[in-house]
Amino acid sequence: MSSSAAGSNTQPSTAHEAVGHGEGVISETEQARFLPRADLQILIRLLRDDGFTVVGPKLDQSAIVYGEITQVADLPIGWTDQQQPGQYRLVPRNDDRMFGYVVGPHSWKQFLFPPSAIVATAQRTGDSWRMSTPDEPSPRYAFLGVRACELAAIAVQDKVFLGGAYVDPIYQQRRASVLLIAVNCTQAASTCFCTSMKTGPRCKAGFDLALTEIDSGFTLETGSERGRSLALRLPLREAQAAELCDAEQGREEAERQITKQMNTDGLHDLLLGQLRSPHWQTVAERCLSCTNCTMVCPTCFCSTVTEVSDLTGDHVDRERHWDSCFNMDISRVNGVPVRDSVASRYRQWLTHKLATWQDQFGTSGCVGCGRCITWCPPGIDLTQEVWTLQQLARESGHGLSHEEAPEQTVEIGSGEG
Ligand code: SF4
Ligand code: SF4
């Protein structure tokens, strides 16, 4: 049994409105606070003393990933990432920046929507069964180093898991206690297009604290009551004008470096008017249906459920695992998959992400982080695929509905798997 995007769950509001913490009002005085570089350890220690598991960037497997941080030395000091379609490289910097990278293969969704979770158990009791749901306390996370596009992604998942009739209890409990410490980008990758999706690169809402790193430390903004309380316990001082200027220049540099764009004007109708385009088959000739794009995406939420019994057959765990719309089985209905071709699965992914997600949740399913471009083995770039579809739509008559689309196009349910 799998769950995907099938349910209707209309929430017509902007992504940022769904964020639980942080009203995002930044006053000039708050912006003028400064945390010296040597005192970041105090922030980590305070969070750990308060019972948080601090999660942040660290080096692992030749990438910058998210994991538990106990000390500043765990951070990827002096390292950065270089990204292109289908390529990711870790390279040394010529300074000691702690957050001098963009985004890696991990997103924060693994901590709020865990890749594997037991959602129910059944225990045989004599002639009967006792069903229960797990009641262990949720971990209390403090996320350190959340980027603007990632704040937007969390807001999108808030709508998915909390915004409709069916609330996900695992996500709800973890989300309720999480503390979000954002770090503004001061550089961008060639795969970033947050400016097109209006999600970045500046963190504007949805955080408790937001830092901007310069060589000597961090300028600091607060975005919630919890953030303000935490800031009062930090050894902050007034930021000097030069420090504020450096921070602003860093943020502006990140914006300047973003060259990738996606035109989202009328995209919903345009994509749904291209359901029979031969271009889906063209993409399928490159797409491996490997699921990478959905695994790294911070908003994708498909999952599947399996039941696992012990050897006695007296105890059964119902386990939920991440799944992907690129897996054929996720669309299996009455014994056969509805989307039995790669073309149909790529079409489902792209049109859901950029069009029907709007119908379900009132927001795009894409925040422009670029992960799906970097981590796609053949380097398929959704912004280029959208551009091609926009060109084809212009040539063939813009705005045709699914029913009106010309019939001379390819059959994409060809069963090539
Ligand atoms: S679709 Fe791609 S660019 Fe958009 S949020 Fe997901 S991983 Fe990021
Ligand atoms: S688009 Fe790329 S990452 Fe996604 S399934 Fe196809 S080959 Fe894999």
Write the DSSP assignment of 279-330 as a string of letters: HHHHHHTT-----HHHHH-SS---EEEEEEE-TTSSEEEEEEEE--TTSGGG
Per-residue pLDDT, 31? 63
Please give the Cα distance from 342 to 348 (Å, whole number): 10
Structure-model confidence comparison of residues 26 and 270, the more confident one? 270
DSSP states of 342-363: HHHHHHHHHHIIIIIHHHHHSS
Q: Which ligand is nearest to the CA of 287?
A: 2
Per-residue pLDDT, 396? 82
Per-residue pLDDT, 51? 98
371 lines ligand 1 (CB under 6 A): yes
Closest residue to atom 2 of ligand 2, CA basis: 376
DSSP 3-state of 267: helix
| 353 Cα: distance to centroid of ligand 2 (angstroms) | 14
Q: How confident is the model at residue 244 (pLDDT cuts 50, 70, 90)?
A: very high
Binding-site residues, ligand 2, Cβ < 6 A = 287-293, 326, 376-378, 380
| 227 Cα: distance to centroid of ligand 2 (angstroms) | 39
What dihedral angle (degrees, nearest 10) is formed by the CA atoms of 354, 17, 13, 257? Answer: -30
* Buried residues in 319-355 as b, exposed as e (16+ CB within 10 A): bbebbbbbbbebbeeeeebebbbbbbbbbbbbbbbbb
Domain boundaries, the chain: 1-408
- Which are the contacts of 286, defined by CB distance < 8 A and separation ≥ 6? 378, 380
Question: How high does pLDDT run on average in the chain?
Answer: 90
Please give the Cα distance from 100 to 145 (Å, whole number): 10
Per-residue pLDDT, 48? 98
Q: How confident is the model at residue 32 (pLDDT cuts 50, 70, 90)?
A: confident
The stretches of 32-99 forming alpha helices (DSSP H) are 40-49
Which one of 267, 324, 353 would you pick to mutate in the ligand 1 pocket, going by the greatest count of ligand atoms within 8 A of its CB? 353
pLDDT higher than threshold 80 for residue 417: no
Per-residue pLDDT, 30? 54
Contact 191, 258 (CB under 8 A): no
273 lines ligand 1 (CB under 6 A): no
Q: How confident is the model at residue 398 (pLDDT cuts 50, 70, 90)?
A: low
What digits encode the pLDDT tens for the residues 61-120? 999 999 999 999 999 999 999 999 999 999 999 999 999 999 999 999 999 999 999 999
376 lines ligand 1 (CB under 6 A): no
Please give the Cα distance from 86 to 376 (Å, whole number): 5
* Full-model pTM: 0.90
Give the tokens for residue 329: 């089985």
Contact 144, 165 (CB under 8 A): no
Closest residue to atom 7 of ligand 1, CA basis: 297
Please give the Cα distance from 381 to 374 (Å, whole number): 8
Per-residue pLDDT, 209? 97
CA 300 to ligand 1: nearest atom = 6
What digits encode the pLDDT tens for the residues 140-168? 999 999 999 999 999 999 999 999 999 99
Which one of 109, 297, 322, 348 would you pick to mutate in the ligand 1 pocket, going by the greatest count of ligand atoms within 8 A of its CB? 297
Per-residue pLDDT, 415? 44
Bond preceding residue 201 cis, omega within 30 of 0: yes
Per-residue pLDDT, 416? 44
